[in-house]
């Protein structure tokens, strides 16, 4: 197995390769506005780090969001195109699940809110519980103002950039002071390595992955104009 993982749902344009046992290469660029420019170089960089050719890849997994329209489209179209060119399977995973899974890999246990930047003064959010067996999403994803999320969600530790953007409305990330031994800070952006690891674990246990339908959660900014009422008869 050599699984290519791609995520472009957050500020991080992430690419990783997983051999079924561990992540063997990862490339990440932070840029909220230039996903298309950074993704292809990231794929080339990860393949070079793993000393692999594109034809060595046996499958692709891509984060399907939720996330902004342009970023998600870049990642999903690239994943589909790469897989189609090689005749290999491609699957999707909720990007918020990948953030929760990375928190799990870092040692977090218990309740967790994942809240990422949805722009327009809103967040994409989902609630999880993490135990020794893995993650379970309890509710979401939703798009909402941080202050309008359920109070039980807002009191949880938070992965994602939500607490940085709306510190008065959300719970806290796990701070240095008072953090339990062995627990590292919660992640801010989706790691393609964590996405790949979650996909491999689910495939190994026979769990289904998600489809490729992007989770936009809101209508795009641009819409078709309504039909003109002006008569065309002379």
Q: What are the per-10-residue average pLDDT scores of the chain (234 residues)?
A: 97 97 97 89 97 98 94 95 97 98 96 95 97 97 96 94 92 51 74 98 93 85 52 45
pLDDT at 226: 57
pLDDT at 219: 63
**Cβ atoms of residues 150 and 142 within 8 Å:** no
What tokens were used for 122?
């809103």
pLDDT at 172: 61
pLDDT at 34: 84
Give the distance, in angstroms, between the CA of residue 74 and the centroid of all CA atoms in the same chain.
13
Could you tell me which CATH class the domain 96-165 is placed in?
Answer: alpha beta
44 vs 150: CA distance, rounded Å:
42
pLDDT at 222: 47
Residues of the chain with CATH 3.30.420.40: 3-94+191-204, 96-165
**Cβ atoms of residues 68 and 119 within 8 Å:** yes
pLDDT at 32: 80
pLDDT at 185: 83
* Full DSSP string of the chain: --EEEEE-SSSEEEEEEE-SSSEEEEEEEE-TT-HHHHHHHHHHHHHHHTT--GGG--EEEEE--S--HHHHHHHHHHHHHHHHHHT--EEEE-HHHHHHHHHHHTT--EEEEEEEEEETTEEEEEEEEEETTEEEEEEEEEEE-GGGS-HHHHTS-EESSHHHH-TTTS-----STTPPTTPPPPPSS--HHHHHHHHHHHHHTT---B-S-----S--S--PPPPP-S----
**Cβ atoms of residues 9 and 95 within 8 Å:** yes
CATH number of 3-94+191-204: 3.30.420.40
Q: Can you name the residues that pair with 128 across neighbouring β-strands?
A: 112, 137
Tokens 């609630």 locate to 127
């Amino acid at each position: 197995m050599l699984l290519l993982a791609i995520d472009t749902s957050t500020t991080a344009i992430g690419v990783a390769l997983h051999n079924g046992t561990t992540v063997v290469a990862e490339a990440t660029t932070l840029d909220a506005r230039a996903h298309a420019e950074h993704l292809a170089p990231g794929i080339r960089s990860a393949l070079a780090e793993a000393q692999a050719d594109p034809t060595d890849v046996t499958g692709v997994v891509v984060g399907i969001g939720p996330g902004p329209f342009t970023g998600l489209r870049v990642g999903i179209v690239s994943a589909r195109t790469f897989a189609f060119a090689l005749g290999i399977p491609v699957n999707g995973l909720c990007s918020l699940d990948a953030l929760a899974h990375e928190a799990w890999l870092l040692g977090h246990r218990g309740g967790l809110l994942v809240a990422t930047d949805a722009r327009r003064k809103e967040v994409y959010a989902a609630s999880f519980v993490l135990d020794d067996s893995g993650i379970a999403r309890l509710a979401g994803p939703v798009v909402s103002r941080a202050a309008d999320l359920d109070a039980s969600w807002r009191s949880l530790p938070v992965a994602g950039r939500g607490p940085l953007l709306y510190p008065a409305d959300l719970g806290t990330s796990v701070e240095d002071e008072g953090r339990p031994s062995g627990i590292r800070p919660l992640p801010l952006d989706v790691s393609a390595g964590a996405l790949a690891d979650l996909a491999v674990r689910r495939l190994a246990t026979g769990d289904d992955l998600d489809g490729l339908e992007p989770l936009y959660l809101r209508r795009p900014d641009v819409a078709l104009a309504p039909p003109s009422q002006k008569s065309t008869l002379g």
